[in-house]
Structure 1
Amino acid sequence: MSEVKKKLGLPAKMGIGFGLGILLGLILQATGWDPATVKPFGDVFIRLIRMIVVPLVFVSLVSGAASMGNLGKLGRISVKTLAYYLISTGIAVFIGLMIANIFQPGAGLNLATEGLKAKEVTPPGVINTLLNIIPLNPFEALASANLLQTIFFAIFFGFSLSALGEKAAPLTKIFDAANAVMIKITAAVMQYAPYGVCALIAYTVGSSGVHVLLPLIKLIVLMYVAAVIQICVVYLPLIRGVAGINLKTYLRVMAQPLLIAFSTCSSAAALPANLTATEKIGVPREISSFTIPLGTTINMDGAALYLGLAAMFVAQVYGIELSLSSQASILLMAILASIGSVGVPSSALVVMTMVFTQVDLPMEGIALVAGVDRILDMARTTLNVMGDSTAALVVAKSEGELGEPELEAEIVS
């Protein structure tokens, strides 16, 4: 029995938890029990993850920046990372638009729109967005879990440590040790992951009744089809063809963060596991600790793909014809809005509002898909997390620093 336990790794346990969660959700739905009874067990997992995300990102980035010690290298990595995120986001929007044009998910649907009202949001200005990257108070940024401001300060702090050389060596060692401690804490938290995943999936399945899913089943199916296309057309060729990583190896190592992303609908929740898994595939810490947290903040491939699909869906429901120029506007606005909503609460809603306003789509259309948003968000978040790890691999390969995958031990043990 003990040998079986040793062979059963954490990703496998999470897979079992995922399957049991689906079964439990169906039982809850069939018996009429309130799915909220299992939700607290999932909330515990989310809270534990949120507890470690900010300190992990901070100490990892400081340690990585201090060891990098080359401002020119950071500049190259930054440009390559941002270029990748912009291009992959553009492709994602295009795929969403293409699928919607071909399969017409909203055509012929007669959904009740009376009384629907989308939550009002105010899109941020470009200048304020850029200024808000710089924290007025680094401790406030850490306390409020503002990842972008935390990244900015951590890189600044890390390079200052590097510039001081031997004088700052004791503090550098402290941050290296703190990074090791955070990895150990992450490992402990992840032992609860199978139970958290089980509870979260059970709540999602138990809450999503057939009456909610059926009218929008075509949209849901097409979202997942589009996500698979994005993976097969963009990520897998880059992972295998550019980075030279065996796909079986990649999927085996990345199973854990991808399962967390799918079940929690939170890129931040998957961030610790994504950092660990990406380094295990061969990406050095100074690259992964920059690209992964930055991607968690600004890379929105899944949301961008959904934007294209949702905009066309709403237009079709309301009988609005979107010209090629309008669809081109959606593509451009989705890319720009993804960057423009950095660090803004309810950023997905902000982005959708900006895009809908640009092409004169009714805001009530956003509320049409609210009932199944959780189901759609599972695919969106998984794409975002996979896109982050792919970016890290591509950037590391372009820098000539991609090492060999380490498969001797579990990702988090």
Structure 2
Amino acid sequence: MAKRITIYILAAMILGILVGFGLNQTITDPSAIATITDALSILTGLFLKLIKMIIAPLVFATLVGGIAHMGDRSALGRMGARTIGWFLLASVVSITLGLMFVNIIRPGVGLGLPLPPVNEANGLAQAHFVLKEFILDLVPSSIFDALAKNAILQIVVFATFAGVACTAIGDKAEPIVKAMDSLAQLMLTITDYVMRLAPIAVFAAVTSAVFKEGLGILWTFGYFMGGFYLALAVLWAILFGVAVVAVGAGRAKDLFRFIRAPFLIAFSTASSEAAFPRTLEALEDFGVPPRVAGFVLPLGYSFNLDGSMMYCSFATMFIAQAYGIHLSFTQQATMLLLLMVTSKGIASVPRASLVVISSTLATFHIPEAGLLLILAVDQFLDMGRTGTNVIGNAVASTLVAKWEGILGTSKTAATRTTAAA
């Protein structure tokens, strides 16, 4: 099923590019464009809402059940420390790579495009990291409110308490743990049904993006986009190299093969949520225990956005270069530290990367109107950074499972072993 979904998604992406380009070349009436894109957005929006319907109960059930199955509360603390430690290291690497490549390639120098006036509004609400608000927002005022809002980090906090409490009361929690396991299986079965709509949603999303912007916009910003995707490719290579060191070349190839489908879903829809259930299944098939994937993945949604963090540093420096503003090494090091914090604080904000960039521009006195330069191609860039987030979280889950000594064999490997016997 997973292989067929991958093929269907690839076909839908190609068909979407062709249809979108055809519509872009033949329809120029603004009202007709708005009508068609609105109709296409229904398909994409419906798919994403179906996914959001699954996320909260799936995260809650897998995390409570996973922690309860651990039994040893000290193991939870150890796994949590290893997870956060890797997230911090990955954050430093991704932001540094973004700064390094934008300084080498310098895509904003000699851009050849009219720059937006420095006082022009970019249309984004300002959001600034406030430590007090961030800490208070970790704890839900009601678990039902957190579930209703898909507030992943709040769900993780409550589910962690619930899982630890289950281990504390022992056998009395057995009915609850069984219920959580059953709920997780139910959500994954629903996921299988929803994923059958993924190629349709991908087709609609790609068609709409190419129809509105046209392929010409890719040529105009080709150097900027090419530089960013080159930096992403290097980050992918580093993540693959880390996986090779941790589990060996053969298993690393298996991992990337297993997460191919969720990567394509995230890439084509520019939604990490859309890929979450399939990533969870792919990691389980690879051999990562559900209790590990169910713990690491939700945390990754707020603390391990590798592609998004790289984009924040890359895009901020691009805008500074476009306006001829030089930032010293010290200032860029300060930017790295700032992005380390702010990228965690507003991960649930819609178009979070743009909001983080906007606040970073203001901090370094770079015209915030420069954000208008990248809005036209943000959808195409969002695809790359969202897909990268999936890869980063999959590698993180694998590493934690390996460090815990509980990484199992993949279904493919198990099948081969059985056949050989």
TM range (shorter): over 0.9
Structure 2 match to 1:239:
243
Deviation at 1:261, TM superposition (A): 0.7
Q: Which amino acid aligns with 2:384?
A: A
Whole-Å Cα distance in 1 between the matches of residues 45 and 132 of structure 2? 36
Of 13, 33, 42, which residue of structure 1 is paired with 2:8? 13
Q: Scaled by the length of structure 2, what TM-score is found? A: 0.91
Who is 1:3 aligned against? none
Corresponding residue number in structure 1 for 2:371: 366
Alpha-carbon deviation of 1:271? 0.8
Match of 1:59 among 40, 58, 61: 61
Residues in 2 aligned to 1:383 and 1:21: alpha-carbon distance in whole angstroms: 22
- Give how far 1:211 is off: 5.2
Q: Tell me which of 382, 400, 409 is aligned to 1:404.
A: 409
1:158 maps to 163
Q: State the distance in 2 between where 1:9 and 1:350 align.
A: 37
1:135 counterpart SS class: coil
Q: Give the corresponding residue for 2:115.
A: 112
Q: Which deviates more, 252-261 or 200-209?
A: 200-209
Cross-structure match for 1:195: 200
**1:386/1:81 CA distance change after superposition, 3 Å:** same
Shift of 1:342: 4.2
Is 1:92 equivalent to 2:94 in the alignment? yes
Q: How much has 1:180 moved relative to structure 2?
A: 1.1
Amino acid at match of 2:59: V
Query: Cα deviation per residue 1:332-384 (whole Å; 9 max; x = unaligned)?
Result: 11112122324445432332233223322121122221111111111110111
72, 75, 79: which one pairs with 1:73?
A: 75
Whole-Å Cα distance in 1 between the matches of residues 340 and 255 of structure 2?
Answer: 27
Give yes or no for contact 2:73–2:167 (8 Å, CA) kept in 1. no
- The aligned amino acid for 1:387 is G
Deviation at 1:82, TM superposition (A): 1.1
Distance 1:174 1:230 in 2: 40
After superposition, the C-alpha distances for 1:147-171 in whole angstroms (9 at most, x for unaligned) are: 1001111111122122211112122
8 Å Cα contact 2:301-2:347 kept in structure 1: no
Q: Does the CA contact (< 8 Å) of 1:58 and 1:150 recur in 2?
A: yes
Instruction: Give percent identity, aligned residues only.
Output: 35
Shift of 1:105: 0.4
Partner residue, 2:47: 45
Residue 29 (str. 1) matches residue 32 (str. 2): no
Structure 1 residues 53 and 163 mapped into 2: Cα distance closer, same or farther (>3 Å)?
same
* 10-19 vs 336-345, greater mean Cα deviation: 336-345
Distance in 2 of aligned mates of 1:112 and 1:307: 20
Secondary structure of the 1:246 match is: helix
**1:215 and 2:210 aligned:** no
2:358 alignment counterpart: 353
Please state if 1:278 is matched with 2:279: no
Q: How much has 1:75 moved relative to structure 2?
A: 1.1
Q: Is the 8 A contact 2:21 2:214 kept in 1?
A: no
1:97/1:309 contact within 8 Å kept: yes
Determine the C-alpha separation between the residues in 2 that align with 1:7 and 1:372: 30
Distance in structure 1 (CA, Å) of the matches to 2:99 and 2:368: 19
State the distance in 2 between where 1:207 and 1:247 align.
Answer: 38
The answer on whether the counterparts of 1:267 and 1:385 sit within 8 Å (CA) in structure 2 is yes
* C-alpha distance in structure 1 between counterparts of 2:306 and 2:300, whole Å: 10
Q: What is the TM-score normalised by the length of structure 1?
A: 0.92
Please, which of 294, 297, 300 is the counterpart of residue 292 of structure 1?
A: 297
Change (3 A) 1:398 1:7: closer
Equivalent position SS for 2:377: helix
Between the aligned partners of 1:14 and 1:346, the Cα distance in structure 2 is 24
Contact residue 51 and residue 274 of structure 2 kept, 8 A: yes
Supply the distance in 2 between the matched residues of 1:388 and 1:84 (Cα, whole angstroms): 10
Matching residue of 2:399: 394
Moved over 4 A (4+): none
C-alpha distance in structure 2 between counterparts of 1:8 and 1:327, whole Å: 43
Q: Distance in 2 between matches of 1:289 and 1:203?
A: 33
In the alignment, which residue of structure 2 is the partner of 1:121? 126
RMSD: 1.9
Residues 43 and 7 (structure 1 numbering): CA distance in 2 closer, same or farther, change over 3 Å? closer
Unaligned runs of 5+ in 2: 416-421
1:206-230 per-residue CA deviation (whole Å, 9 max, x = no partner) reads: 2222454443221111111110011
Which structure 1 residue ranges, 5 or more long, are not aligned? 1-5
Give distance in 1, aligned partners of 2:139 and 2:12. 41
Q: How many residues align?
A: 403
Q: Distance in 1 between matches of 2:55 and 2:276?
A: 7
